[in-house]
A = this chain, B = another copy of it.
Amino acid sequence: MRNCVCGVDLGGTKIGIGIVDSNGKIIAKVNVPTPVKEGKQAVLDSIVKGIEDVITKANLKTSDLLGIGVGSPGPLNSKLGIIYNPNNLPGFENVEIVKFLNEKFGTNVKLQNDANAAALGEYIFGSGKGTENFVYVTVSTGIGGGLIVNGKIFEGANSNAVEIGHMTILDGGPACSCGNIGCYEALASGTALQRFAREAVLKGEKTIIKEIAGDRDIKAEDVFKAYHRGDKLAIKLVEQEAYYLGVGMINLIALYNPERIAIGGGVSNEFDTFYDKMMETVEKRALKPSLKVCDIVKAKVNDVGIVGAASLIYEK
C-alpha cells in the first residue's frame, strides 16, 4: 500500500488528519483537538498522535508514506518550514514544524499556507485539473485563496500571496479584522453575510431569518434558508452577497487572468443559488479579453483541507 501521503489540516480548534492516495481519495481520517492553551508542545503532541492513529487506522506503516503535508494558517515560511504566529493559534509561535515532523517520522515533510494547499489540492484532484492558470477561492468565515501556475503554487516573497480576502473592493467600506477597510472578506464572506443579516434584524426589518435562528445567533446558513423560503430581506442579502462575490471575481480576472476560478468553502454549498447573480456583475464589468478565457465553477474536492495538505507532496 505505497503511494500514500498524510495530510494535516491544522485549524484553530481541531486538526484534521488523513491518509490520501494518489487519486486524492481519503483512505482514513481522524480529527484531534488543537490544545493551543496547553502550549506549543501539546499541539505538536496532538499532531503526532493523530498521525500515528491515522496510519494505524489505514493499516499502514510509517515507512509506507511518501511524505506528510501540513496546511496551516499563516503567517509562515514554507521554505524554512516554520509557522510564525497565526492569529487563531495564539502561542503557537515560531514552530519549526517541518524539522519536528521530519525527525519524528523520518519522512519528507512539507508546509504550506492552508489556502495555498487547498488550491493545490483542488488543482491536482478537482476542478483545476489540466489548467495552467488556476485560482481557488474559499468563502467561509473569511475569504482566502491560492493561485496555481503551471502546477506550482504562486507563493510570493514570503508565502503570503493571494490574500484575496484582504484586497479593498469598497474603499471606505466596513472595517475588516485585518485592520484594512472595505476588504473583500468584510463584504462577501459568510461572516459578512451574517453581519449584514444581524444588522438588518437589529434595525427591525421584517424577516423570518431571526425565527430560523431561534435562540442562537444568526448564521449565514439561516440567510440562505430564508432565501429559499422567499424571504424578502434574505433575497436582498443573498443578492448583495452574490454582487460582492462578483466584484472580487472582476479583480481576480484582471489581476491573475486565470483559465478557471473555483469557489470552495462553506458558502459554496449555495453556489447554484448565487451563481447567476454573481455572473451578472462579472459579465457586465470584467475585462472582456480575460473573461473570455475564464470560467468560474464550484470546487469539487471534499475535505480539501486534508487533501490539499497531502497534495503538497505531489506538487511538481
Give residues in A with beta carbon < 8 Å to B: 74-75, 84, 132-133, 149, 154-164, 166-173, 178-182, 244, 247, 250-251, 254-259, 284-290, 292-294
User: Is there contact, CB below 8 Å, between B156 and A250?
Assistant: no
Residue from the list B133, B167, B258 in contact with A167, Cβ < 8 A: B167
**With A158-B293, A166-B250 already in contact, 17 other A-B pairs whose C-beta atoms are closer than 8 Å:** A84-B289, A156-B258, A157-B290, A158-B292, A160-B287, A161-B290, A162-B255, A163-B257, A164-B254, A166-B287, A168-B169, A168-B251, A170-B171, A171-B247, A179-B285, A179-B288, A255-B255
Contact B179 A284 (CB under 8 A): yes
Q: Which residue of B lies closest to A85 (CB)?
A: B289
Copies per assembly: 2
Q: In the complex, are the beta carbons of B294 and A163 less than 8 A apart?
A: no
A155 and B284 form a contact (CB under 8 A): no
Given contacts A163-B257, A164-B255, contact A290 B170 (CB under 8 A): no
Contact status A247-B168, CB under 8 Å: yes
Verify B167–A251 contact, CB threshold 8 A.
yes
B161 & A289 in contact (Cβ 8 Å cutoff):
no
Majority SS of interface residues in chain A? loop
Closest to A161 in B: B257
B160, B173, B254, B287: the one within 8 Å of A289 (CB): B160
Inside 8 A of A164's CB, which chain B residues have their CB? Answer: 254-255
Q: Which residues of B contact A84 (CB under 8 A)?
A: 289
User: With the chains together, A161 CA to B154 CA distance in Å?
Assistant: 14
The interface residues of chain B lying within 8 Å CB-to-CB of A284 are 179
Closest to A132 in B: B157
- Complex Cα gap A154–B210 (Å): 48
Q: Which residues of B contact A161 (CB under 8 A)?
A: 133, 255-257, 290
Checking B155, B158, B167, B182 against A255 with a beta-carbon cut-off of 8 angstroms, the contacting residue is B167
**Residue contact B181 to A285, C-beta cutoff 8 Å:** yes
A7 CB to closest chain B CB (Å) equals 24
- How many angstroms between the C-alpha atoms of A269 and B316 in the bound complex? 43
The CA of A294 and the CA of B161, in the complex, are separated in Å by 12
A166 to B288, CA, bound (A): 11
A253 to chain B, nearest CB (A): 9
Bound-complex Cα distance A149 to B154 (A): 9
Contacts A149-B154, A157-B132 hold; do A167 and B254 have CB atoms under 8 A apart? yes
Contacts of A154 in B (CB 8 A): 149
CB-CB < 8 A to A181: which residues of B? 285
B74→A257 contact, CB < 8 A: no
CB distance from A204 to the nearest CB of B (A): 26
A134 closest partner in B (C-beta)? B157
